[in-house]
Amino acid sequence: MAVATKPHVAVLPSPGMGHLIPLLEFAKRLATHHAVHVSFLVVTTESSPAQRRYLDSAALPSDLHVIKLPPADVSSVITPDMPILTKLSLLCRESVKPLGSIFEKISLPKALIIDNFMGDAFDICKNFNVPVYTFYTSATKSLALALYLRKLDKEVDCEFVDVAEGSIRVPGCKSIYVDDLQDSLKNRKAEAYKWNMLHASRLTMATGIFVNTWDDFESKSSWFHGLNNDPYFRNLPAPPLYRVGPLIKHDEAVAESDAFILSWLDNQECDSVLFVALGSGGTMTSEQLSELALGLEMSKQKFVFVVRKPSDIDVCGTYFNAGSNVDDPKTYLPEGFLDRTKGVGLVVPTWAPQVHVLGHKATGGFLSHCGWNSTLESMAYGVPIIAWPLFAEQRINATLLTEEVGVAVKPEGVLQGGRRVVRREEVERVVRLVMEGEEGKVMRNRMGELKESAAKALKHGGSSYDSLSCVVKSWK
């Protein structure tokens, strides 16, 4: 009997750790659990040091091969003052141009899997008759909004933020607060809004959409149910949705210089430490960073605090250069903070081995920006969240976790000088609530249930495993 040849697929993420990590984990799962040969295509133009280190240190299966796309000359199309979505979109457009020549050098894949910013690949793949799947890197709630966006654009005359009800009703689902919308949707005359519309419209061009979620988590909200059952979505020319998660980073390397973090945690009591980390791309203002630090001090709780130099200009100032600088926290944390919290807290510049910290028995809470990767990691390890969104769809995620799933608390801010600032007293309140209050215990129990169901979904015969197996079967 002839031995069946493994199907070959290609995976192409856009730049940024929030996109690279889940698509690489997806590629690894295809290779190790579903007997698929994977070509992992990497954008090298303006790649961050964190991205390069991650790829260099990742343990890759033998059936997964990394192929670096040629550097693209973006000097004539990208300027330093561009909004992040415009810059990212143009960078993807220029970087994907050699894709046809890449296909000619490798065996033609059965499919190309892209994320939601790599839509220019559709036209190239059409010439090669290669079906394109989208791996959606955010929550189902954001996907529902994206699939509804074209109709919403036609029906609403004013700016979305001026909608009378203060929220947008998505068919078959719950409403989305206009305050939670990503900034690129708040000005319909801006170029970033047009890019958002373009990316949303391309979702319906995919052969299928992979969503980094799982059945039991989706049962806690109405979003997947609405996408599958509401007449609006059922009448769209939309592709089938496949729940394949939660796919998170597991084999994270711990540098020798970071080993002290885990050693420090080893000496702390179970569930006694708050982990504070706000992602690879986000930055706080100087005032907000100071208030956060002083609130942590006032709470008198143990903490691991990952800090980076604040920015009063750009909330996503490190998106394209994550991991490039390690600044001295003494220069921007409140005077005397490091001395006063010595032994109680551990301050780590720029980066920490997040999955190892979240998975440590001493970690009992996570103050997070609510990026979808970090959210899934927190669920996979059963750690409740203090939701501190910074940009993109993070505010939507924060509301989902607090109001629908019940595993997070969101601190209240006050408007000052046109900016919303969370004061130190509020930081103290939510930290104590999660780390020692009854509400924190309830959230921790709910997270524990999600942790168990997440692991079950990915096992052989689990809902996410079977969902992906159906697609792989069609490739074979």
In the block, tokens 């009378």 appear at: 164
Cα(51)–Cα(231) distance, integer angstroms: 41
Q: What angle do CA 236, 241, 244 make, to 5 degrees?
A: 165
**Cα 59 to Cα 51: distance, rounded to the nearest angstrom:** 14
Q: Tell which residue, 46, 60, 192, 195, has the closest CA to residue 119.
A: 195
What does pLDDT average to over the chain? 93
CATH class of 256-454: alpha beta
pTM of the model: 0.94
What does the pLDDT look like over 318-359, one tens digit per residue?
Answer: 555 555 556 789 999 999 999 999 999 999 998 899 999 999
List Cβ neighbours of 394 (8 Å cut-off, separation of 6 or more). 369, 370, 371
Q: Band the pLDDT of 317: cuts 50, 70, 90.
A: low
Residue 164: other Cβ atoms inside 10 A = 6
Residue 339, φ and ψ in degrees, nearest 5: -70, -40
CA distance 21 to 13: 9
Gap between the Cα atoms of 92 and 15, Å rounded: 8
Q: What is the DSSP letter of 342?
A: B
Domain boundaries, the chain: 8-249+458-475, 256-454
Alpha carbons 275 and 359: distance in angstroms, whole number: 11
Residue with tokens 């390690």: 326
pLDDT at 240 over 50: yes
pLDDT value at residue 52: 85
CA distances, 29 to each of 3, 228, 239, 361, 468 (Å):
22, 26, 22, 26, 10
Please give the structure tokens belonging to residue 183.
Answer: 């900034």
Mean predicted confidence (pLDDT) in 67-73 = 95
CA atoms within 13 A on the CB side of 215: 12
At a CB cut-off of 8 Å and minimum separation 6, what does 442 contact? Answer: 406
- For the chain, what's the residue count? 476
Equal fold, 8-249+458-475 vs 256-454: yes
CA distance 291 to 442: 27
CA 279/CA 283 separation, integer angstroms: 9
What 3-state class would DSSP assign to 38?
strand
Q: Are the beta carbons of 457 and 326 closer than 8 angstroms?
A: no
pLDDT, one tens digit per residue, over 91-125 is: 999 999 999 999 999 989 999 999 999 999 999 99
pLDDT in tens, 381-434: 999 999 999 988 999 999 999 999 999 999 999 988 778 999 999 999 999 999
Mean pLDDT on 218-237:
90
pLDDT value, residue 320: 53
Query: Is 284 within 8 Å of 392 (Cβ atoms)?
Result: no
Q: List the catalytic residues.
A: 19, 115
Structural fold of domain 8-249+458-475: Rossmann fold (3.40.50)
Q: What is the pLDDT of residue 1?
A: 38
Mean pLDDT of 231-255: 90
Question: At 368, which helix (H) or strand (E)?
Answer: strand 363-368
Which helix (H) or strand (E) segment is 41 a member of? strand 37-42
Paired residues of 387 in beta bridges? 368
pLDDT of residue 2: 43
Could you read off the pLDDT of 144-179 as tens digits, one per residue? 999 999 999 999 999 999 998 899 999 999 899 999
Max CA separation in the chain (angstroms) = 74
Burial 354-382 (b: 16+ CB within 10 A, else e): bbbbbbbebbbbbbbbbbbbbbbbbbbbb
Sole residue written with tokens 């750009």: 314
